[in-house]
Amino acid sequence: MSLLETRGVTVRFGGTTAVDAVDLALESGQVTGLIGPNGAGKTTLFNVITGMQRPTSGSVLLDGSDITRKSPGKRGRLGVARTFQRLELFLSLSVRDNVRVAGDIVKASRRGGYDVEAETQRVLELTGLAEIADREVADIPTGRARVVEVARALMTHPRLLLLDEPASGQTEQETEVFAAMLRALADDGLGICLVEHDLSLVMSLCRTIHVLDRGRLIASGTPDEVRATPEVVAAYIGAEVI
C-alpha cells in the first residue's frame, strides 16, 4: 500500500481543467518527482493533496483511508506537510524563531510532551541551519531561506513532505547540499514529493517521476523511463537534461 494516492483527481475552474483525472502514488522512504511545464497543474495537485483545494472529482487516500474531505489542519496532524513556491517566512525574525514558531503551533495542538526548544535545535542541526540560527531571515540568501521553510515543515514530524520548487534561488553548491539532506530524510523513512524545474536535480534525486502536461499525467516511471517517453521530450523541448 502506498503512503498516499490520488485516484482520478480532477479540478476544474469554470471551463478550465487544471488537473485531469490524475492517478499517482507517493511512497514512504523515497523522493518522488512531479514535473511539468508552467501551468501543468502541479501546484493545484499539491493543493488537493493538502486539502487547500477541493477536487471537482476523485479522491485522496492516506494509508488507504479516504481523506478527501478532511481539512488541511487534520491532514497536517495525520502527517502531511508542505512548503510553498513563494516564500512564506517571517523576514524580521531569526532563522531559529521562524522554525520555533512551527513548534509552538504543534505543541498547542497536541497532547503529551513536545519540547519546542529541543526540537527546534534538532531540526536546525538536521537541516544545516544551526550555524545561521540567530540571523534574521531577511539577511540570509534566498537559497538558505528555502531550507528554513523545509525546517519549519519538519517541526510537525511529517510522514509526507511536499516541496514546491525548493531549489529555486539556490546556488549549485547549495543544491548539492540540499539534495544530500533530502536523501538522508528519505533514508530515514520520510516520503517526499518534489515539484522542481531543476531537472538535473530531479533526475539525480528521484526514484520515481510523474510528469504533468496541461493537467494530464503523461508519464510515470524511473528517470530513464521518463527520459525515453516521447510526450515528455515534446513537453520539454530545449531541456538538455531530457
Residue 108 in this model has a pLDDT that exceeds 90:
no
Q: How far apart are CA 44 and CA 167, in angstroms?
A: 19
pLDDT score, position 105? 85
Instruction: Report residue 15 as a C-alpha cell.
Output: 471551463
Report the DSSP pairing between strands 16-26 and 208-213: unpaired
pLDDT (mean) for 172-198: 95
50-82 pLDDT, tens digit per residue, is 999 999 999 999 999 999 999 999 999 999 999
Rg for the chain, CA atoms, rounded: 18
pLDDT score, position 86? 85
Q: How far apart are CA 224 and CA 65, in angstroms?
A: 32
The percent of residues in the chain predicted with pLDDT above 70, rounded, is: 96
211: number of Cβ within 10 Å: 23
Report the DSSP pairing between strands 65-66 and 57-62: antiparallel
Residue 239 in this model has a pLDDT that exceeds 60:
no
pLDDT score, position 66? 98
pLDDT (mean) for 127-138: 96
241 pLDDT band (50/70/90 cuts)? very low
Domain assignments of the chain as residue spans, ordered by start: 1-79+159-242, 88-157
Among all chains, which residue has been given the C-alpha cell 498516499? 4
pLDDT score, position 111? 62
Q: How far apart are CA 24 and CA 132, in angstroms?
A: 38
33-52 pLDDT, tens digit per residue, is 999 999 999 999 999 999 99
Residue 21 in this model has a pLDDT that exceeds 70:
yes
The CATH topology of domain 1-79+159-242 is: Rossmann fold (3.40.50)
Report the DSSP pairing between strands 191-195 and 208-213: unpaired
165: number of Cβ within 10 Å: 18
